[in-house]
Amino acid sequence: MSSDRRPLILMSPAILWLFALMVVPCALILVLAFFRRGIYGGIEYIWTLENLRLVFDPLYFNIFLKSASVAGLSAGIACVLGYAAAYAIATMPRRNQPLLLFFAVLPFWSNYLVRTYAWIVLLNREGLIVNLARWLGYQGELPSMLYTEEAVVIGLVYNYLPFVILSCYAPLLRLNPEITEASRDLGASAWTTFRRITLPMTVPGIATGFVFVFVLSIGNFVTPALLGGGQFQMIGNLVYAQFLTANDWPFGAALSMVLIAVMLGLLMAQAVVAERASGLKKGQGNG
Amino acid sequence: MLRLSIRSSACAVAVFTAFAAPTFAESLTVSNWDGYMAADAMDSFNAASGNEAELVLHATNEEIMGKLIASKGIGYDVVFVSSPFAEVLNNLGLAETLDHAKIPNIANLFNEATLLPHDPGNTFSLPYAWGTTGLCYRSDLVDEPTSWGDLLMPAGDVSGKTTMLATDRWLLAAGQLQLGYSVNETDPAKMAKVRDLLIEAKKTLLAYDDTTFYAKLVSGEAELVQAWDGWCNYGIGENADIKYTIPAEGSDLWVDTMVILKASEHKEAAYDFVNYILDAKNHRWAAENILYKVPNKAAMDGVDAGLIEAFPNMGMSPVEMLKFEQLRDVGAAQRDYSRLVSEIKASN
C-alpha cells in the first residue's frame, strides 16, 4: 500500500458515516423548505418560496433576533468568566493545572438534561436558593428566578463555560513568558502588559470560545424549554414546534436552513480570524 | 408474589396458545401514549388471543400523525389519538371503516359515547378515555376559582403562581371560553381578541406546562393551573388540598380514541385488540389506574366508590360532560392557531 493513499483509506469510514447520516439527511430536510405544507401536515410537492419568506416575517425574524441576543449575551458572559478561569489556571503551578482542568470539564461527565434540571431545583420558588435565604432569616417575597430570560442565560452560560475555559487555556499556556517579561522590563504595568500583549495574542482562543457558545446557544431548545418555562421561545423551540407539534415540516426546514447558514457563516468567520492570527504570529516570528 | 403468579400463568397460557393456534398468530403494532394502558395489556392480549402484538409509544398526537401521514398509515395497525386527529385520519382516508360485528364489546359503551359529534355511530373511531379541561388549584392557598378569568387575570397574590397548558388547542381554549367563543372558533377578528387576552395573561404566568403542572401544585410553586381532569387527579393523589373545578364559562370535551388503520395488514387482530380493550374489566383498569374517565358504562359501573370519593371528577356523568363542546379538527385554520400561539409565546 502506498503511503499517500493511507490517509484516504483511514478517513473514508468517518467520511462515509458523516455523509450518509449527516449530509444526506440534512440535504433532504433542506429540500423540504421549498415545498408546500399539506393541509393536514403532509408535504405537497409544489415548488414555493413561501416558507423562506415566512422566516423573514417580523414575528419569526424577531424570534431570530431574540435568540441571537440571548446567545450573544450568554457567549459574552461565558467568555469573561471562562477567560478569567483559564488565565487563573494557566498561571498556576504547572503540576496543579491538570487537576483544575479536570474540574472544569467535570460537568460534561453528567447528562445535559440532568445539569439543566439541577437549575430548576436551585432556582424555583420553593427551591434551594430561596430556602437558603429563608434559613438565613430573609422574610420578604423573592422575585421568581426560574422561567425567565435570565434563567435561560444562566443555564446556557453554565453548560457551555467549559468550552471557553478550554479554548482560552491553550493559547494562554502557549504564550511565551519572555514576551510578557520583556514588556514588564520595558516599564509597562501589569495591566498594560495584559491589555496590550496577553489579551491580543489570545484573541483567537476567545473568538473560538465565543463562536462555540454562540452557535450552541442560538440553536438550543432544551434550556429555553426547561428554564424558560415555555414562555420564552428561541429559534430552536420554533423549529422543534414546526416538526413536532405544528407538523409544518417545510417551514421548520426553512427555519433550520437559515439557522444553519448563520452558524456556518460564523464558524467560517471564526476560522478566518484564527487563520489570520496564526499568520500574524508567523510573520512576527520571521520578522 | 401476586405479580409473579400472574406472569407465570400468562406464560403458561402463551405457551399453550402458541402450540394450539400457531397459524393464527398475527403480529400487530399498536401506538399509544406511555403509561396510558396496563403495562401487561399487550402480554395478556397476546396470551388470550395468540397474537404477537407489539406496543410502540408516541409522546404527542402530532408525533404519531407525522409518522402516519408520511407512511400513509403503513406499519401501524391500531393508534391511540385524540379525536380531532382521528378526524384527520378519516379525512385523509387512512382510517378503517369499522365493522361493528367484529367489536361486540362496543355494547359496553355509554350511549353518549356512540354519538360523539366528531364521529356519530363510531364509524372510524372508538372512544378510549374522555374528560374535561378546567382549573386545578390548592384549596388551602387560594379561593375556589369560578371563572377562566381567575386564571387569565389572577388576583395580585396569585399572580406569578399560575400555569397554562402549552399545547395550541388548550392554550387557546382558555381564552376562547373566557370570551364566550366556541373552542373551535377560527374567525380572525375573534381570534385576535383571544390572542390579546392571552398575551396579557402571559405576563402573570409562572410557566406554560403540559407535563409537570401538578408537581408544581404539590410543591407550592404554583397555586392555580389549567389542567386536564385526569392529570389534576395525580396532584390530588399526593395532596388532598388540591381540587379540580370547571369554571362557569365551561370546558372543552376532549376524547382520546382508538383508530384502526386502513393500511393494516392484520385487521382481524386489530379488531380483536380494540374489542379486548373495550372489555369491561380491561377498560376499568384504565379508569382505576390512570384516573381518567372511560366512556365504557360496564367499566365505570364497576369502579370502586372510594376512588370516586377521592377523585370527585371521576364521578362526572356523560350527560354532564356532553354539555361541553368537543374539540374538532379545524382544518387549514390549524396553521393560524400555530401562528397565534407563536405570537403569544414570543410576546414580552
ipTM for the complex shown: 0.81
User: Residues of A with CB below 8 A from B207's CB?
Assistant: 147, 229-231
Q: Which of B221, B328, B347 to mutate to test the interface with A (most CBs of A within 10 A)?
A: B221
Collapsed DSSP state (helix, strand, coil) of residue A3: helix
- Return the percentage of chain A with pLDDT > 90, whole number: 56
Distance from CA of A141 to the nearest CA of B (A): 11
Name the residue with cell 501589569: A190
According to the model, what pLDDT value does residue A43 have?
85
B70:A42 CB<8 A: yes
Residue A277 pLDDT: 72
pLDDT at B5: 36
Q: Stretch B79-92: mean pLDDT, rounded?
A: 95
- DSSP codes joined into one string, A103-160: HHHGGGGS-HHHHHHHHHHHHSTTSHHHHHHHHTT--SPPPP-SSSHHHHHHHHHHHH
| CATH 3.30.750.200 for the B2-129+254-309 domain, yes or no | no
The Cα of B343 is separated from the nearest Cα of chain A by a number of Å equal to 7
> Do the two domains B2-129+254-309 and B131-252+325-346 of this chain adopt the same fold?
yes
Q: Which chain B positions have a beta carbon within 8 Å of A245's beta carbon?
A: 60, 62, 167-168, 338
pLDDT value, residue A281: 58
Are A229 and B168 an interchain contact pair (Cβ–Cβ within 8 Å)?
Answer: no
- Residues of chain A with confidence (pLDDT) below 50: 285-287
What pLDDT is attached to residue A137? Answer: 83
Q: Which residue of B has its CA nearest to A124?
A: B221
* CATH architecture of structural domain B131-252+325-346: 3-Layer(aba) Sandwich (3.40)
- Residue A150 distance to chain B (closest CA, Å): 13
pLDDT over 50 (residue B246):
yes
B280 or A270, greater pLDDT: B280
Segment A200-250, tens digit of pLDDT:
999 889 999 999 999 999 999 999 999 998 888 899 999 998 888 888 889
Nearest CA in chain B to A241: B338
Task: Look at A60 and B205 and tell me if their CB atoms are within 8 Å.
Answer: no
Q: Which residues of A touch B219 (CB under 8 A)?
A: 124, 126
Q: Is there a contact between B63 and A244 if contact means CB atoms under 8 Å apart?
A: yes
Q: How far apart are CA A184 and CA A240, in angstroms?
A: 54
**Cα B273 to the chain's mean position, in Å?**
19
pTM of the model: 0.85
Contact B207 A244 (CB under 8 A): no
Closest CA relative to residue B318, chosen from B304, B306, B333, B301: B301
Task: Give which of A36, A45, A245 to mutate to test B binding, by max B Cβ within 10 Å.
Answer: A245
The amino acid present at B309, given as its one-letter code, is E
Cβ separation of A144 and B206 shorter than 8 Å? yes
Q: Is the CA virtual torsion B51, B56, B60, B62 positive or negative?
A: negative
Q: How far is CA B61 from the centre of its chain?
A: 10
Domain extents in chain A: 51-286
CB–CB contacts below 8 A, A to B: 83
CA distance B51 to B58: 22
Helix (H, G, I), strand (E, B) or coil at B164: strand
Q: What is the pLDDT of residues B193-230, one digit of tens each?
A: 999 999 999 999 999 998 889 999 999 999 999 999 99
Say what the pLDDT of residue A280 is: 61
Q: In this predicted structure, which of A246-255, B75-84, B102-111, B221-230 has the lowest mean pLDDT?
A: A246-255
CB neighbour list of residue B2: distance below 8 Å, 6 or more residues apart: none
Q: Are B166 and B202 in contact (CB under 8 A)?
A: no
Q: Taking CB atoms and an 8 Å limit, are A247 and B208 in contact across chains?
A: no
Q: Which fold has domain A51-286?
A: MetI-like fold (1.10.3720)
Chain B residues whose CB is inside 8 A of the A37 CB are 335
A234: Cα within 13 Å, side-chain hemisphere = 29
* Four-point Cα dihedral B19, B22, B27, B30, nearest 10: -50
Residue A133 pLDDT: 84
| Grid cell listed for A41 | 401536515
**Beta pairing class for B126-138 and B224-228:** antiparallel
CB contacts of A255 in chain B (<8 Å) are none
pLDDT-based confidence at B113, cuts 50/70/90? very high
Considering only CB atoms, B69 lies closest to which of A40, A144, A241, namely A40
In chain B, domain spans = 2-129+254-309, 131-252+325-346
CB neighbours (10 Å) of residue B91? Answer: 14
Evaluate if residue B120 carries a pLDDT over 90. Answer: yes
* Closest CB from A39, A62, A230 relative to B332: A39
| C-alpha distances in Å from residue B258, one per residue of A56, A109, A226 | 40, 43, 32
Chain A: residue whose CA lies nearest to B336: A246
pLDDT tens, position by position, B16-25? 344 444 445 6
- Is B202 in Cβ contact with A231 (below 8 Å)? yes
Average the pLDDT over B268-278 and give the result.
95
Q: Are B209 and A229 inside 8 Å of each other by CB?
A: yes
Distance (Å, whole) CA B177 – CA B55: 37
- Closest A-chain CA to B213: A229
Which residue's C-alpha cell is 508567523?
A282
The residue among A257, A161, A134 whose CA lies nearest residue A216 is A161
Chain B residues with CB under 8 Å of a chain A CB are 60, 62-63, 65-66, 69-70, 88, 91-92, 160-161, 163, 166-168, 202, 205-209, 219-221, 331-332, 334-335, 338-339, 342-343, 345-346
Q: What pLDDT shows up at residue A279? A: 66
B65·A39 Cβ contact <8 A: no
Cβ contact B232:B163 at 8 Å: no
pLDDT grade, residue B27 (50/70/90)? confident
A134-143, A209-218, B3-12, B254-263: least confident range:
B3-12
Residues in A lying within 8 Å of B, measured between beta carbons: 37-42, 59-60, 62-63, 66, 124-126, 144, 147, 229-233, 238, 241, 243-249
Give B67 to chain A, closest Cα distance, Å. Answer: 10
Distances (CA, A) of A127 to A130, A132, B142, B161, B287: 6, 9, 21, 14, 34
Inform me whether the pLDDT recorded for B323 exceeds 60. Answer: yes
With beta carbons under 8 A apart, name residues in chain A contacting B84.
none
The torsion of the CA quartet A105, A109, A112, A114, rounded to 10 degrees, works out to -120
